[in-house]
Amino acid sequence: PAHVQEYDAISNTFRETGPPVTEYESEQLRSTTFYDGTNRVVSEKNEDVSVPSIPPTEIRHIFDPALPFNGNRMELIAGEVFVNGQFTAPLKAFTIDHPLDPYNKKLRHISVESPDMMNIYNGNVTTDEKGYATVTMPDYFAALNMDFRYQLTAMGVFSQAIVKEKIADNKFVIQTDKPNVEVSWQVTGIRHDTYAKENRIQVEVDKTEAMKGKLLYEPKKELGNK
């Protein structure tokens, strides 16, 4: 039978939150630990830590900040992960089965980064016989974004393309100096939803005294300016 546990990173213990099942002895977990989907937990001590013989089928919450984790890795999390706060990593990527050779290769891409909470929208549109085209953004666009920036590229012919009218009522107007010109457009905006406004990131941050002189990532070649 299924049951659910919560992991408390300060006490390093799992707490059962689902309906009771069979009795078992709850073992305190040492160091930073990760449930791997079987009946074991991987710890940063490079050892397996026993958990109940009937493992949790879901870890619903992780309370409080966990300790830094080095060494082992979680190979797979199947399903959705929701983090109610910042998710920080030196590298963020997707990995999928390669669309041209799915059984033998993987395909990887890296996220586009920005010091802003930036959203990107793009598309193609063709101007009419008078050289005008109206682009309609999603209905939530202005509620989510501010500080709009535009890029336009005419395709197929040499033509000038301008933003004739900036975004208003979730629409903007493109004008070209020739009729019937296909234009590739990109618009970016900075998030200004409630969470974004209350949680702007500080781009450059001094390390704490405990972290000064130490690196988050140990490079293969030594860096200067310690």
**pLDDT tens per residue across span 175-210:** 999 999 999 999 999 999 999 999 998 999 998 888
**Least confident stretch, 73-77, 115-119, 155-159:** 73-77
What pTM value is reported for the model?
0.65
CATH of domain 118-198: 2.60.40
Percentage of residues in the chain having pLDDT higher than 90 = 46
Q: What are the phi and psi torsion angles at 86 (to 5°)?
A: -80, 140
Distance, in Å, from the CA atom of 108 to the CA atom of 112, rounded to the nearest integer, reads 13
Instruction: Tell me the domain boundaries of the chain.
Output: 4-63, 118-198
Burial class (CB in 10 A: 0-12, 13-18, 19+), 223: exposed
Cα 146–chain centre separation? 21
Token pair 């030196």 is found at 90
Burial class (CB in 10 A: 0-12, 13-18, 19+), 173: middle
Question: Over 90: is that where the pLDDT of 155 sits?
Answer: yes
